[in-house]
Amino acid sequence: MEEDWTDKRMDDFADRVGRFEGDVKERFDKVDKRFDRLEAKVDMTNRTIWAGIFVAVVVKLLFG
């Protein structure tokens, strides 16, 4: 009788842990997506800055 009760409690605990892991994974996936968008914006800004520097150097070399 006691083993059945313990088994049920362990099964309930395993289910709760599984749900918790799923919730945590889902939340981290959302955070990862937000960081990916931020990283894409930073990459675009970085490329724009470097393109501007390149154009400035070319203009300086051509028109001195």
* DSSP symbols for 14-38: HHHHHHHHHHHHHHHHHHHHHHHHH
Q: Residue 3's pLDDT band (boundaries 50, 70, 90)?
A: low
pLDDT tens, residue by residue, 12-32: 888 888 888 888 889 999 999
CA distance linking residue 8 with residue 13, whole number of Å? 9
* Whether this model's pTM surpasses 0.85: no
Burial letters 30-61, b for 16+ CB under 10 A, else e: eeeeeeeeeeeeeeeeeeeeeeeeeeeeeeee
